[in-house]
Amino acid sequence: MTANRDPKVRFAETLFGIYPEFLPTQALYLDLEGRGSGPQDILSCYWPVLSGSKRFSWIRRTNSSEIDLASVEAHLEEIGAAGAKWIVVYSAGQILPDERDRVIGMLGQDPFPDGEWINLLHVVQRCTEIRGSIREHGYAWYERDQTRIRNSLEALEWEFSIKRSVSLRSHSYRYKDLDGGAGSMEVLSTARRSMEGSAEEEEETALRAYCEADVKHMFEIASASEHLVFSRDERRVRRQLHS
């Protein structure tokens, strides 16, 4: 890797400096929607080993069923991700992400005992250049704390030229390109209505698209980062060494 002060390149260099064997195309991208350490309503998965629309899948809690170890293991077997070597999240908790703790708390054990958890927020926290660029651009901020720009996934997406439609932006954030307006997705409320069977068809469609965006965009950021710091031949060699 060569020295470069471009924020995206520095982020990419930091990512592969922390996780040198990480192969973005062979990782499972996960996201939970729920209330802290309480019940989790949705587990979203993005598995780029598959093709097209098959890459995204999810498990949802219903009034009659929880997201438990048996259902998750069955789902992972179905999509072929049970033996995922890398599990990518965007979470508080630094090198050991809180998202992993939430998964373990929900299931009673880590469903990936041999996998390495990759935390993209930890990479942001370790990269001065990308943090500075996020602050400078001020793309999104939390509505309850307008004095501080958050290192949110949506802010990192914007740095990588990934821009969500308003329907796929969180109602808890305010956005510079919306003149301080909010997004329209109230994910927990929508997930609750979906679980109860009272969500409209448009809400169900938007909820699925929002959950897919969270995990798909993590993959797109990781993949773009690999292309920023490794040549085609280097990527081929990495796959031979680490797959």
**For residues 73 and 65, is the Cβ–Cβ distance under 8 A?**
no
**For residues 173 and 182, is the Cβ–Cβ distance under 8 A?**
yes
pLDDT at 4: 58
**For residues 28 and 241, is the Cβ–Cβ distance under 8 A?**
no
**For residues 10 and 127, is the Cβ–Cβ distance under 8 A?**
yes
pLDDT in tens, 15-51: 999 999 999 999 999 999 887 666 788 999 999 999 9
pLDDT at 185: 87
The pTM for the full model equals 0.92
Q: Give the β-pairing of 86-89 and 40-46.
A: unpaired
pLDDT at 149: 61
Q: Which of the 8 DSSP states describes residue 176?
A: G
Which of the residues in the chain have pLDDT under 50? 1-2
Dihedrals phi, psi of 69, to nearest 5 degrees: -60, -45
pLDDT at 178: 84
Residue spans of beta strands (DSSP E) within the chain:
27-34, 40-46, 56-60, 86-89, 116-119, 140-142, 173-175, 181-182
